[in-house]
Structure 1
Amino acid sequence: MAPPPPFRVEQWMDEFETTAKYNLAETCCASISVDELVSFSENEKAKVSDVLDSSLVQTYGEIRGSSALRDNLSRLYSSKAGSPLPPERILITPGAIAANHLAFYALLGPGDHVICHYPTYQQLYTVPASLGAEVDLWKSKEDNEWLPDYDELAAMVKDNTKMIILNNPQNPTGAILPKSLMVDTVNLAKEKGITLLSDEVYRPLFHGITPLNKDFPPSILSLGYANTIATGSMSKAYSLAGIRTGWIASRNQDIIEKCQVARDYTTISVSQLDQSVASFALSPDTIHSLLGRNIQLAKTNLELVDRFVIKHDEFCSYVKPVAGTTAFIKFERDGKPIHAETFCKAVHEKTGVMLLPGDVGFGEEFKGYVRMGYVNRTEIVREGLEELRKFMRKEYDDLPVCD
Structure 2
Amino acid sequence: MPHATTAATRLPHSGIREIVDLAIAAPHPVIRLEIGEPDFATPAHVVDAAFEAARVRTSYVQTAGIPELRDALAARLTRATATSVPMERVLITHGAVQAVDAVLSAVLAPGDEVLVPDPAWPNYQMQATLLGARAVTYALRPDDAFQPDIDEIRRLVTPRTRAIVLNSPNNPTGAVLPPHILAAVVDLAVERDLLVVSDEVYDEIVFEGVHSYAAALSSDHVVSVHSFSKTYAMTGWRVGYALVPAWLADTVTRILELETSCVSSVTQAAALAATTGPQDVVGEMRDAYRSRRDVAVGVLAQAGIDIVVPRGAFYLMLPLDPHTDSRAAALDLVNAGVSFAPGSAFGASAPHHLRVSLASSEDRIREGLQRFLAWRAAGGLASPLAGAHAR
How far apart, in 1, do the equivalents of 2:64 and 2:251 lie? Answer: 13
Q: Which runs of 4+ in 1 moved over 6 A?
A: none
Aligned to 1:129: 129
Task: Name which of 368, 374, 391 aligns with 1:384.
Answer: 368
Aligned to 1:142: 142
Structure 2 SS opposite 1:138:
strand
User: How far off its partner does 1:362 sit?
Assistant: 1.7
User: How far off its partner does 1:129 sit?
Assistant: 3.1
Structure 1 SS opposite 2:126:
helix
After superposition, residues 18-97 of structure 1 pair within 5 angstroms as 18-19=24-25, 21-33=30-42, 37-38=43-44, 49-53=48-52, 54-97=54-97
Identity, % of aligned positions: 22
- Normalised by the length of structure 1, the TM-score is 0.86
Say if 1:236 and 1:5 are closer, same or farther in 2 by CA, change over 3 A: same
Aligned to 1:16: 22
Whether contact under 8 Å (1:114, 1:136) holds in the other structure is: yes
Whether contact under 8 Å (2:196, 2:223) holds in the other structure is: yes
1:80-116 C-alpha deviation (Å, 9 max, x unpaired): 3242212221111111112111111122112322211
After superposition, residues 308-323 of structure 1 pair within 5 angstroms as 308-313=299-304, 316-323=305-312
Unaligned runs of 5+ in 2: 1-5
After superposition, residues 96-111 of structure 1 pair within 5 angstroms as 96-111=96-111
Whether contact under 8 Å (2:112, 2:162) holds in the other structure is: yes
Once the two structures are overlaid, the 10-residue window that deviates more, 386-395 or 79-88, is: 386-395
Once the two structures are overlaid, the 10-residue window that deviates more, 237-246 or 373-382, is: 373-382
Aligned to 1:340: 326
Structure 1 SS opposite 2:92:
strand
Letter paired with 2:278 = T
Aligned to 2:342: 357
Say if 1:397 and 1:6 are closer, same or farther in 2 by CA, change over 3 A: closer
Say if 1:112 and 1:340 are closer, same or farther in 2 by CA, change over 3 A: closer
Aligned to 1:242: 236
How far apart, in 2, do the equivalents of 1:262 and 1:97 lie? Answer: 14
Whether contact under 8 Å (2:117, 2:165) holds in the other structure is: yes
Structure 1 SS opposite 2:100:
helix
How far apart, in 2, do the equivalents of 1:152 and 1:194 lie? Answer: 16
Whether contact under 8 Å (1:114, 1:133) holds in the other structure is: yes
> Root-mean-square deviation (CA), in Å?
2.3
Task: Name which of 8, 12, 15 aligns with 1:6.
Answer: 12
Whether contact under 8 Å (2:46, 2:270) holds in the other structure is: no
Whether contact under 8 Å (1:102, 1:259) holds in the other structure is: yes
User: How far off its partner does 1:395 sit?
Assistant: 5.6
Task: Name which of 243, 249, 260 aligns with 1:267.
Answer: 260
User: How far off its partner does 1:190 sit?
Assistant: 0.7
Whether contact under 8 Å (1:146, 1:173) holds in the other structure is: yes
Whether contact under 8 Å (2:47, 2:270) holds in the other structure is: no
User: How far off its partner does 1:365 sit?
Assistant: 4.7
Whether contact under 8 Å (1:52, 1:276) holds in the other structure is: no
Task: Name which of 285, 298, 301 aligns with 1:307.
Answer: 298
Unaligned runs of 5+ in 1: 39-45, 212-216
Say if 1:286 and 1:26 are closer, same or farther in 2 by CA, change over 3 A: farther
Letter paired with 2:7 = A
How far apart, in 1, do the equivalents of 2:238 and 2:113 lie? Answer: 30
Structure 2 SS opposite 1:6:
coil
1:27-70 C-alpha deviation (Å, 9 max, x unpaired): 1332314xxx12xxxxxxx6954442143211112332122322
Whether contact under 8 Å (1:330, 1:337) holds in the other structure is: no
Structure 2 SS opposite 1:125:
helix
1:359-396 C-alpha deviation (Å, 9 max, x unpaired): 1x123453321000013233332333343344344463
How far apart, in 2, do the equivalents of 1:48 and 1:258 lie? Answer: 33
Report whether the alignment pairs 1:224 with 2:208.
Answer: no
Aligned to 1:292: 283
Letter paired with 2:297 = D
1:304-329 C-alpha deviation (Å, 9 max, x unpaired): 1112211232xx43201001111111
Whether contact under 8 Å (1:26, 1:376) holds in the other structure is: no
Say if 1:7 and 1:91 are closer, same or farther in 2 by CA, change over 3 A: farther
How far apart, in 2, do the equivalents of 1:84 and 1:369 lie? Answer: 42
Say if 1:193 and 1:275 are closer, same or farther in 2 by CA, change over 3 A: same
Structure 2 SS opposite 1:337:
coil
